RNA sequence: GUCCCUGUAGCGCAAUGGAUAGCGUGCCGGCCUCCGAAGCCGUCGGUGCGGGUUCGAAUCCCGCCAGGGACACCA
């Protein structure tokens, strides 16, 4: 927000250091961390330590001495109200009126675009969700979908051109088993609603039948053979039933507000994966052990000349020559760069258990000479488990289905809306319940670090109080309500002509941070940064709401506060939008 | 055995190597005659252990302890 002034100050500090025979400092600015303080700060401890060279000295005192000198040299630069040297820190306090106007104007001028960075003209791909067709979609699958979607939002807001990519697992033993079960026991049936749930039930049924009668495996193998021979009947059945799953996924993505630009399918890469494996064998990177009944492997540590075991052994092709997931991943990685040669990054949002797998895939491709391999990056996240550290598994039935969660969250939200806002039309109530329900589901998946396990339990999933999406939505609604009741256009840009109160200072401060936090969240691939900011914004707004009357205030204050409320509303809406959460107009 | 992740308040989580470690929840107690109480205010309570690096460590390094995960033909 004060980039120009900041740069000028940096130059002045550099000049000061040169003039005073000090080493060139590397200045890192951060927000003054105390509430009530309002501006940016930097410290001179490193510089002080460096200034002593090999000699010992009192760094604290020296840092303070430098800070004092610089503070004096700077005076009070334009845009700032105070410059202070405190314990080795240089604190630059923004001029309240000017800063307020600048932040509020920026937000209201830019509207939905506030927080977005300059376009970088760089393309990145994010692959996420990767659901298996012919299986249930449960809460464990939700994290990749939600995390990936928000990472796309963040990267886009940070200025990248994002290709949102899905990679459904549409072929494999699970599909073959499903087809066998369907053909034998359900031929001709078709689901009309809750498609994914129905597909999942049939899959679970297949597993159960095979467990109870292992001799049926022979029939399954027969179906696999038919698939391998591309038997038209099986291929047709596969295509038809696969589409049911995909339709079901589309329905859920629509409910969740998640979209994709590009679909790749597992089944597309059996051949191209094998091509790469052949190439690896030809180049001597992979060892073909099929003659002795083994698979095709890449002994990565050996090929890289590592003594330890870091990459272990990568199995690239089954001993019978059929493709496995790893084979297909080789083909897929290449295809992405064939389709999008300009990709600066190719991200894979996949759970942490596959970390080694992706290291192996990327390293193998690098050894194979593909320069783009280094642009591939696995974005690991921890799984969603059930209480007692139970991993959700479609096979064992210990799962919470997404359909059920969506329905429960929606119902719970509807119940609360009916209680709080009986006068709204049923349609509005439904709309609000959807926004609140989805928000309540998404927020907990985004508000903890990617590397931390999310434990799902119904009680906290349906708890709408405290640090959660409905809290932020509620603050938004309150802001909206004030503006509606004001019953007048938002006043034109103005310089506040009164002393800002503490809650106003805090609120403006947080609003002003959004653009930086977007960059930071995108850089570190951490939605958490935005969930935190959104919550803090809402909290600061609630504080403001309780302490600063708007509509009843005298005109000068009212006009200024109306603009602030509008800016806060916009900042909250934009933060929520980044998180894929809808801000309802009432709730 | 090798490698990765995680240990912060009863529980769930924050905190670019920086100043005074924050929030939610839970317990207890307050606040609707004031822009919406899905809200606000108050109270209790914490960096797994031991070294090291640094002016400064929850954060980086080493060791230990505890939990989770990955390691040749599953995805």
A431-452: per-residue pLDDT in tens?
999 999 999 999 999 999 999 9
Last residue of some domain: A61, A94, A127?
Answer: A94
Last residue of some domain: A94, A129, A154?
Answer: A94
**Is the CB atom of residue A418 positioned under 7 angstroms from any atom of strand B?**
no
Q: Is residue A369 part of a domain?
A: no
Question: Quick one: pLDDT band at residue A49, thresholds 50, 70, 90?
Answer: confident
**Is the CB atom of residue A50 positioned under 7 angstroms from any atom of strand B?**
no
On strand B, nucleotides with any atom < 7 Å from a protein CB are: 1-6, 12-16, 18-20, 23-26, 34-41, 54-56, 67-75
Q: Is residue A59 part of a domain?
A: yes
Query: What's the CA–C1' distance between A388 and B48, in Å?
Result: 21
The answer on pLDDT for A418 being more than 80 is yes
> Looking at chain A, how many residues does it have?
587
CATH number at residue A30: 3.30.1360.70
Q: Is residue A573 part of a domain?
A: yes
**Is the CB atom of residue A341 positioned under 7 angstroms from any atom of strand B?**
no
Query: What's the CA–C1' distance between A449 and B46, in Å?
Result: 20
Average pLDDT score over residue span A293-315: 92
Q: Is residue A45 part of a domain?
A: yes
**Is the CB atom of residue A77 positioned under 7 angstroms from any atom of strand B?**
no
pLDDT value at position A198? 93
The answer on pLDDT for A137 being more than 70 is yes
**Is the CB atom of residue A574 positioned under 7 angstroms from any atom of strand B?**
no
**Is the CB atom of residue A382 positioned under 7 angstroms from any atom of strand B?**
yes
Mean pLDDT of chain A, nearest integer? 93
Q: Is residue A9 part of a domain?
A: yes
Whether ipTM exceeds 0.90: yes
pLDDT value at position A33? 84
The answer on pLDDT for A397 being more than 70 is no
The answer on pLDDT for A35 being more than 80 is no
Q: Is residue A20 part of a domain?
A: yes
pLDDT digits (tens, 9 = 90+) for A211-230: 899 899 999 999 988 998 89
Range of the domain at A49: 3-94
**Is the CB atom of residue A432 positioned under 7 angstroms from any atom of strand B?**
yes
Q: Is residue A27 part of a domain?
A: yes
pLDDT digits (tens, 9 = 90+) for A90-118: 999 999 999 999 999 999 999 999 999 99
Q: Is residue A75 part of a domain?
A: yes
Measuring from the CA of residue A91 to each C1', which nucleotide is nearest?
B19
CATH number at residue A456: 1.10.730.10
Between A114 and A194, whose confidence is greater?
A114
Number of neighbouring beta carbons within 10 Å of residue A462? 17
Distance separating the N- and C-terminal Cα atoms of chain A: 33
**Is the CB atom of residue A193 positioned under 7 angstroms from any atom of strand B?**
no
Q: Which residues of A281-312 are buried (b: 16+ CB within 10 A; e: fewer)?
A: beeebbbbeeeeeebbbbebbebeeeeeeebe
CB A474 within 8 A of CB A82: no
pLDDT value at position A390? 86
Last residue of some domain: A54, A69, A94?
Answer: A94
Measuring from the CA of residue A28 to each C1', which nucleotide is nearest?
B16
**Total count of domains within chain A:** 2
H helices present in A257-379, as ranges: 270-282, 300-303, 325-339, 355-367
> Using the 8-state DSSP alphabet, how is residue A582 labeled?
-
- Give chain A residues 225-264 with Cβ within 7 A of strand B: none
Q: Cα dihedral angle (A435, A439, A440, A443), rounded to 10 degrees?
A: 180
Measuring from the CA of residue A87 to each C1', which nucleotide is nearest?
B19
**Is the CB atom of residue A546 positioned under 7 angstroms from any atom of strand B?**
yes
């Amino acid at each position: 927000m004060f980039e120009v002034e900041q740069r000028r100050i940096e130059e002045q500090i550099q000049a000061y250091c040169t003039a005073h025979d000090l080493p060139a400092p590397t200045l890192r600015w951060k927000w003054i961390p105390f509430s009530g303080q309002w501006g940016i700060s930097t410290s001179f401890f490193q510089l002080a330590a460096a200034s002593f060279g090999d000699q010992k000295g009192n760094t604290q005192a020296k840092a303070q001495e430098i800070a004092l000198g610089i503070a004096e040299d700077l005076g009070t630069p334009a845009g700032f109200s105070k410059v202070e040297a405190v314990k080795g820190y240089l604190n630059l306090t923004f001029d309240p009126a000017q800063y307020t106007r600048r932040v509020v104007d920026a937000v209201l001028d830019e509207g939905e675009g506030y927080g977005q960075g300059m376009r970088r003209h760089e393309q990145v791909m994010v692959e996420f969700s990767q659901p298996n067709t012919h299986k249930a979609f449960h809460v464990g699958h939700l994290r990749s979908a939600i995390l990936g979607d928000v990472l796309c939002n963040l990267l886009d807001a940070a200025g990248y051109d994002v290709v949102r990519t899905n990679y459904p697992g549409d072929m494999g033993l699970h599909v073959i088993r499903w087809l066998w079960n369907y053909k034998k026991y359900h031929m001709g049936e078709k689901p009309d609603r809750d498609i994914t749930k129905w597909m999942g039930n049939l899959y679970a049924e297949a597993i159960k039948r095979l467990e109870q009668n292992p001799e049926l495996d022979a029939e399954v193998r027969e179906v696999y053979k038919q698939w391998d021979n591309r038997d038209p009947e099986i291929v047709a059945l596969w295509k038809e039933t696969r589409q049911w799953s995909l339709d079901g996924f589309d329905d859920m993505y629509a409910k969740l507000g998640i979209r994709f630009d590009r679909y790749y399918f597992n089944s597309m890469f059996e051949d191209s994966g094998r091509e790469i494996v052949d190439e690896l064998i030809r180049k001597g990177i992979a060892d073909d052990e099929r003659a002795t009944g083994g698979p095709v492997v890449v002994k990565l540590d050996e090929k890289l000349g590592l003594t330890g075991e870091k990459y272990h052994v990568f199995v690239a092709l089954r001993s019978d020559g059929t493709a496995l997931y790893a084979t297909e991943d080789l083909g897929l990685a290449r295809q992405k760069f064939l389709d999008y040669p300009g990709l600066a990054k190719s991200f894979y949002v996949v759970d942490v258990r596959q970390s080694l797998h992706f290291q192996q895939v990327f390293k193998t491709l690098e050894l194979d000479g593909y320069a783009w391999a280094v642009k591939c990056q696995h974005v690991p996240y921890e799984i969603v488990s059930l209480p007692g550290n139970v991993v959700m598994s479609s096979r064992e039935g210990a799962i919470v289905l997404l359909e059920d969660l969506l329905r429960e969250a929606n119902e719970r939200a509807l119940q609360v809306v009916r209680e709080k806002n009986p006068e709204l039309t049923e349609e509005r109530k439904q709309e609000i319940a959807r926004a609140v329900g989805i928000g309540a589901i998404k927020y907990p998946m985004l508000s903890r670090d990617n590397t931390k396990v999310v434990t799902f339990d119904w009680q906290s999933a349906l708890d709408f109080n405290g640090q959660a999406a409905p809290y932020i939505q509620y603050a938004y609604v309150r802001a909206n309500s004030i503006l509606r009741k004001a019953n007048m256009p938002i006043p034109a840009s103005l310089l506040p002509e009164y002393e800002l109160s503490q809650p106003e200072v805090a609120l403006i401060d947080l609003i002003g941070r959004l653009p930086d936090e977007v960059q930071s969240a995108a850089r570190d691939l951490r939605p958490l940064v935005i969930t935190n900011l959104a919550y803090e914004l809402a909290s600061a707004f609630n504080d403001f709401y309780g302490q600063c009357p708007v509509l009843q205030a005298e005109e000068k204050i009212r006009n200024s506060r109306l603009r602030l409320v509008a800016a806060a509303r916009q900042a909250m809406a934009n933060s929520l939008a980044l998180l894929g959460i809808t801000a309802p107009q009432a709730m």
